[in-house]
Amino acid sequence: MRITCPLCGARDRREFTYYGASVYADRPAEGAAPEVWDDYLHLRDNPAGEITDLWYHELGCSAWIEVTRNTVTHAISATRLLADRATPTKKGARS
Ligand SMILES: [Zn+2]
């Protein structure tokens, strides 16, 4: 399998480290309710279809990359730098 790093181009997947669902990057706000932290730490969807994962280009440019792939076909449809996505909303923020 090859993953296209936005900075380095297409590379063998062994250059990357898989970190799981991209929701890992959406850390809850400080002081969020325990239920919000439980959801963040333990609950993940397992869809048959398109998902977005986090990968780290460990043997390349050290960039965090969001990879959109299909869990049925294993086809990768998009990659982008995690830094390029909109700032995530802090879940469970108390005002
Ligand atoms: Zn790279």
| 94 within a domain of the structure (yes/no) | no
| 13 within a domain of the structure (yes/no) | yes
How many angstroms does the Cα of residue 22 sit away from the middle of ligand 1? 18
Structural domain count, the chain:
1
The yes-or-no verdict on residue 90 having pLDDT over 80 is: no
pLDDT for 95: 42
pLDDT single digits (tens) 13-61: 999 999 999 988 889 999 999 999 999 999 988 899 999 999 999 999 9
How many angstroms does the Cα of residue 45 sit away from the middle of ligand 1? 27
| 25 within a domain of the structure (yes/no) | yes
Which of 3-7, 40-44, 91-95 has the highest average model confidence (pLDDT)? 3-7
SS3 sequence of 30-54: CCCCHHHHHHHHHCCCCCCCEEEEE
| 93 within a domain of the structure (yes/no) | no
| 8 within a domain of the structure (yes/no) | yes
Domain of 74, in residue numbers: 2-84
- 73: domain CATH number? 3.30.2270.10
| 95 within a domain of the structure (yes/no) | no
Q: Which helix (H) or strand (E) holds 3?
A: strand 2-5
The yes-or-no verdict on residue 94 having pLDDT over 90 is: no
How many angstroms does the Cα of residue 77 sit away from the middle of ligand 1? 17
